[in-house]
Amino acid sequence: MSMHMDDTEAPPPRPECAGRRLRIAFVVHEYNRHHGHSRYVAELATRFKRQHDVHIFAASFEEPNPENLTFHHVPKWRANAVTNDLSFFIGAAWKVPDSFDIVHAQGFCSPRQNVVTAHMCNAAWFDAIDRFHVPQSWRKRIYRAISTTAEKLVYRPQAARRFIAVSHRVRRDLENFHGLRDQIRVVYHGTDIERFHPRNREAWRATIRQELQIGEREIVALYVGDWQKVGPAVVGALAKVPDVRCIVVTRTPSNIILSDARAAGIEGRITLVPPTPEIHRYYGAADFFLFPTFYDTFGLVLTEAMASGLPAIASREAGASELIVDRENGWLIQNAWDHEEIALGIRALATDEMLRNRMGSAARTSMEHRTWDCVAAETLPIYYEVVAETKSANR
């Protein structure tokens, strides 16, 4: 069993201040429901605004229901990744006051916070890039030097009272690369189990397959995300299993992906789709999900696929793989990018419809208990811990 239940912290004692109305400030680069960090904040803010005073500090806002939320614009210079991060950090220092009970920042985006969610550990990410020999441009090397240095400012014991890790893999990264220990709490991401639902298969399978010129009876794998994380692994494994098609939803330039596919002799079996807000339709069109990533702190697409009733082939390098019980609600790869091991999983799922259905049904069931309501319920006690500690320290 792969789920990390044995090392999950016991709930702390309920602080005396628990239950009182809080003034909460979220600090995030962009506020929307489309991208990981942004969606995380939007989901929590939507739930907390019912009983608390919630403020959002961000460079842009996209909210269909802004009632009971207060927005504050933080300026930033978007010339490149470095100026984007540093200018927002400086802007947040100027904009975010000390008057909140909780200032909840997302990684490196504010010098003033008492709760930080680690969505990413750049030091661990670049370490994985080195281990898997992923090419880096000179721009990425410059960003690496700056981002890993800047990260040390945020992931140090004095920077916040609590650090929320989105998986146990992130917790280990924070411990190994930044020396954090007792201040870390693990709270897995949630999933919108109504949007990502097995009924999307009936609603969208035929339509999407017709649009992509894929036959109804063809076996189709799906990958969603940055091709860099899985490219060689996906084409290498598919080359060993004939007749399986793969839909790739990504912003990676098509020439890179098609070049990899051509080199592996599977160019005709790869169908490219640009990023889309209607991603749930593509989960409905696939037979199983591929996620043999060499590094991912969580991987929301993995839990979205599982909630959609898709069996997933995932590497243990993904934080969300901690929610998979091997061969029960998913298929775990022990060694990321091992073509033979990935091909074994593809072959098993491609040739056994009963296995796909059983595993997909179990995946859905496991996600029904991992909603955003659960995330909010697990996060709020952390806030009260911080408020209680702050109060005690100020006596």
Q: How far apart are the first and last CA of the chain?
A: 46
| Whether pLDDT at 299 is above 70 | yes
| Whether pLDDT at 298 is above 60 | yes
Average confidence score pLDDT of the chain: 93
Q: What is the pLDDT of residue 5?
A: 40
Distances 109 to 77, 92, 96, 376 between C-alpha atoms, Å? 13, 7, 11, 21
* Strand 288-291 with 60-61, pairing: unpaired
Which positions ≥6 away from 5 have C-beta within 8 Å?
A: none
For the chain, give the number of residues: 395
| Whether pLDDT at 28 is above 50 | yes
Which positions ≥6 away from 217 have C-beta within 8 Å?
A: none
Which positions ≥6 away from 92 have C-beta within 8 Å?
A: 27, 57, 74, 105, 109, 110, 111, 112
Asked which of 2-11, 111-120, 205-214 is least confident by mean pLDDT, the reply is 2-11
More confident call, 64 vs 24: 24
Q: HSE, CB side, 13 Å, CA atoms: give it for residue 358.
A: 10
Q: What is the pLDDT of residue 12?
A: 59
* Strand 270-273 with 288-291, pairing: unpaired
Q: Is the pTM of this model over 0.85?
A: yes
What is the rounded average pLDDT of the residues 185-191?
97
SS3 content of the chain, % helix, strand, coil (to 5): 45, 15, 40
* Cβ neighbourhood burial of 13 (10 Å; 0-12, 13-18, 19+): exposed
Q: What is the pLDDT of residue 16?
A: 62
Name beta bridge partners: 58: 73
Task: Give per-residue pLDDT as tens, 226-264.
Answer: 999 999 999 999 999 999 999 999 999 999 999 999 999
Which positions ≥6 away from 37 have C-beta within 8 Å?
A: 28, 29, 30, 106, 107, 119
Q: Which two tokens stand for residue 40?
A: 């995380």
